[in-house]
Amino acid sequence: MDSIIVRGGAELRGQIPIAGAKNACLALMPATLLSEEPLTLTNAPRLSDICTMTQLLESLGAEVSSMQGGKVIAMSTHDLGSTRADYEIVRKMRASNLVLGPLLARAHEAVVSLPGGCAIGARPMDIHIEALEALGAQIELKDGYLHAVARGGLKGGRVKLRFASVGATENVLMAATLAKGTTLIENAAREPEIVDLARCLRAMGAQIEGEGSSTIEVQGVDRLHGATHQVVTDRIELGTYMLAPAFTGGEVECLGGKLELIGAFVEKLDMAGIDVTETEAGLKVKLRGDRPRAVDVITEPFPGFPTDLQAQMMAMLCTAQGTSRLEEKIFENRFMHAPELVRMGARIEVHGGHATVTGVDKLKGAQVMATDLRASVSLILAGLAAEGETVVNRVYHLDRGYEHVEDKLGAVGARIERVSA
Ligand code: EPZ
């Protein structure tokens, strides 16, 4: 099992290319199930989660090939060989549940394993189920699998999401493209990944309006055709690397970065004393003073502060001037990185969904354990600022969502290496 060793104290300078978005690509790939014609994605990220989604789609009958070192994914589902998403694949990656809507829309049936629990929360699928039932699906849970049928096909309807769930919005949006009649999705999620999915579906011939707002209207069509779509930039990878200079000093330019992808996050960076400037190629970031300032953060659905940047922000606030308060409102168990940061000398108190971080002058390197994807990268960032050596174990979590982190950070001056045990 790989670990990553970080020797702190090196200033960062240079450019970091930002990849296509994991969370967009994981929703875009199942769209191939909606059409008999080829769907090609460009600017795709090279990540283990993308390989898992490929495995899942192939198990359903899709042909998937990747080119240009994995940056281009060509898919075609001329014939659906199966409508069953097996537990053995789904347990590896929750986003597998995004095949439910497309399978129901195309084949009028689907058997999809429930993903089960996850380190950051219970993450049920009740909102997905309610939304698809509003389009006429009948769904029952049997032996850990959702058995769904839509006799005669899905029918357009009014869907009001109890919570602006990203996954439920993606599932019902894809399902509604082939439903008979009009679907209105209210309290829809507004994340850039939803906008990217709607753009791709429209390129396939879908009739969609309102993506990016809380109300999306979809006019069902009989069939969708092929298309080529460029995956949007990964705003979470972007935010992660934008924080790096706050740990080390120096200046980094994130290539492909765009302000509109991370509005609320940039406001917090400014309050913490971190300058962000737009360049032709992306976003340039540097610390104003010699130490960040404390800020309070509450995670919310887009356009609020993203929960997927909470761990990285907490790590940054560990050496900030003053005391910061963080509230995690999206997931019920997303402070697993806190005790690991405390091992590095941080001062953090956690009470349920609230955490208080009192900045210290210096962190100290230590052996730490990654518990989930974003927690793992927060420990690497903390290692950049720490005295001595930090060893981050279980980095398989990291490879699910970050392409070659040690190469990208190493290229701008970090002393970082991957070791295999
Ligand atoms: C997506 O997960 C992302 N994953 C997550 O990123 C991200 O943290 C999350 O959206 C929020 O932004 C992908 O896109 C693959 P939700 P998703 O449905 O769709 C509750 C990362 O680090 N809920 O918006 O699963 C749920 O339990 C990952 O890249 C229900 O109660 O998120 C959670 O508390 C982690 N019932 C909240 O809503 C449901 O049916 C938000 O979940 C659905 C969700």
Read off the pLDDT of each residue in 12-23 and give the average, rounded to a whole number.
Answer: 98
Distance of CA 315 to the CA centre of its chain: 19
| Any atom of ligand 1 within 6 Å of the Cβ of 165 | yes
330, 335, 400, best to mutate for ligand 1 pocket (most atoms within 8 Å of CB):
330
Measured on CA atoms in the order 237, 241, 242, 244, is the torsion positive or negative?
Answer: positive
Answer whether the bond into residue 192 is a cis peptide, omega within 30°.
Answer: no
pLDDT classification of 38: cutoffs 50, 70, 90: very high
For 165-183, the pLDDT digits (tens) are: 999 999 999 999 999 999 9
Q: What percent of the chain has pLDDT over 70?
A: 100
- pLDDT range class, residue 116, cuts 50, 70, 90: confident
Determine the pLDDT at residue 409.
98
377 Cα: distance to centroid of ligand 1 (angstroms): 19
Closest atom of ligand 1 to 123 CA is 27
Name the residues annotated as catalytic: 118
132 lines ligand 1 (CB under 6 A): no
Q: Is the CB of 241 under 6 A from ligand 1?
A: no
As a whole number, mean pLDDT of residues 319-324 equals: 98
**Overall average pLDDT of the 231-245 stretch:** 98
Residue 117, ligand 1, Cβ within 6 A: no
If one counts every other C-beta atom within 10 angstroms of the C-beta of residue 95, the result is 23
Q: Is 145 close to ligand 1, i.e. is its CB under 6 Å away?
A: no
pLDDT tens, 376-421? 999 999 999 999 999 999 999 999 999 999 999 999 999 999 998 7
Q: What percent of the chain is modeled with pLDDT above 90?
A: 97
Is 307 close to ligand 1, i.e. is its CB under 6 Å away? yes
- What are the pLDDT digits (tens) for 285-310? 999 999 999 999 999 999 999 999 99
What is the CA(149)–ligand 1 centre distance, in A? 24
pLDDT of residue 123: 86
Atom from ligand 1 closest to the CA of residue 170 = 19
Among 371, 308, 377, 395, CA closest to 119: 371
Q: What is the pLDDT of residue 18?
A: 98
Pocket test for ligand 1, best of 22, 23, 127, 196 (most atoms within 8 A of CB): 23
Which ligand 1 atom sits nearest the alpha carbon of residue 124? 36
Say if ligand 1 is within 6 A of residue 134 CB: no
Ligand 1 centre from 125 Cα, in Å?
10
pTM, whole model, 2 decimals? Answer: 0.97
For ligand 1, the distance from its centroid to the CA atom of residue 243, given in whole angstroms, is 23
Work out the average pLDDT over 251-261. Answer: 97
